[in-house]
């Protein structure tokens, strides 16, 4: 695999990734860096893709959160396609492909991403680590539903986990050869085990609420 262009990397690290500092705790620097890392890992098994395009797609995928969560995938595409530096580095066709990929990454989207870059970033964004997913769910709840008490956050966490990751959840695994399929089964076992899930929730909730003081 070719290495990422130095100028691109410098631009992203200085101008794009710092913007994630202003988002909720579930979508800050650690998240975008994880998505970049996982995207590059997945792309290492796909020699036909352009590694610089993979990198930019991953870096821009959640920037639209600056305008709120509801349409962040659409706004992320607009931000990428309007970026003057990106316009100087890629062809219009490449930018179109990356824009589609960014727009298609959202986990609640039922349709398969339109191109390989969308498949890669969507799969990377779905990186399944059970504790990280539960922590991000709690973090998002604390940020966006401050009126809820502990029991309310527990019920919201359980509901979200079932709706997204349960046997009938809306999460789609687009690359069955990735590690996510196996990890998803492990997460489903935790979700189904009430005692284990409650213990994880209690520990993480305590860590997150205590860290705010």
pLDDT value of residue 107: 66
**Residue by residue, what is the 3-state secondary structure of 115-135?**
CHHHHHHHHHHCCCCHHHHHH
**pLDDT category, 213, cuts 50, 70, 90?**
very low
Residue 23 has pLDDT above 90, yes or no: no
The pLDDT tens digits for 84-96 are 999 999 999 999 9
Domain boundaries, the chain: 6-125, 130-210
The pLDDT tens digits for 168-211 are 998 888 888 888 888 899 999 999 999 999 999 999 999 999 86
- Write down the pTM of the prediction: 0.73
The pLDDT tens digits for 98-151 are 999 999 988 666 788 999 999 999 989 887 889 989 998 999 999 899 999 999
Is the domain spanning 6-125 CATH 1.10.3210.10? The answer is yes
Among 150, 149, 155, 140, which residue's Cα sits nearest to residue 197?
Answer: 155
pLDDT value of residue 26: 66
How far apart (Å, rounded) are the C-alpha atoms in residues 41 and 37? 6
């Amino acid at each position: 695999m070719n290495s990422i262009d130095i100028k691109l990397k410098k631009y992203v690290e200085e101008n794009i990734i710092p913007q994630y500092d202003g988002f909720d705790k579930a979508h800050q620097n650690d998240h975008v860096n994880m998505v970049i890392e996982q995207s590059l890992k997945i792309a290492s098994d796909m020699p036909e893709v352009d590694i610089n395009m993979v990198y930019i797609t991953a870096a821009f995928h959640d920037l639209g959160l600056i305008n709120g969560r509801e349409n962040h995938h659409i706004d992320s595409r607009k931000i990428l396609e309007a970026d003057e530096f990106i316009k100087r580095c890629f062809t219009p066709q490449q930018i179109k492909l990356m824009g589609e990929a960014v727009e298609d990454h959202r986990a609640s989207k039922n349709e398969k991403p339109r191109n390989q870059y969308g498949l890669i970033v969507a799969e990377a964004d779905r990186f399944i680590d059970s504790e990280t997913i539960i922590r991000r769910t709690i973090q998002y709840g604390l940020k966006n539903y401050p009126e809820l008490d502990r029991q309310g956050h527990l019920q919201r966490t359980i509901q979200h986990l079932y709706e997204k990751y349960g046997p009938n959840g809306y999460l789609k695994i687009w690359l069955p050869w990735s590690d996510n399929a196996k990890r998803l089964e492990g997460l489903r076992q935790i979700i189904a085990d009430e005692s284990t899930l409650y213990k994880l929730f209690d520990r993480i909730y305590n860590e997150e609420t205590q860290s705010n003081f």
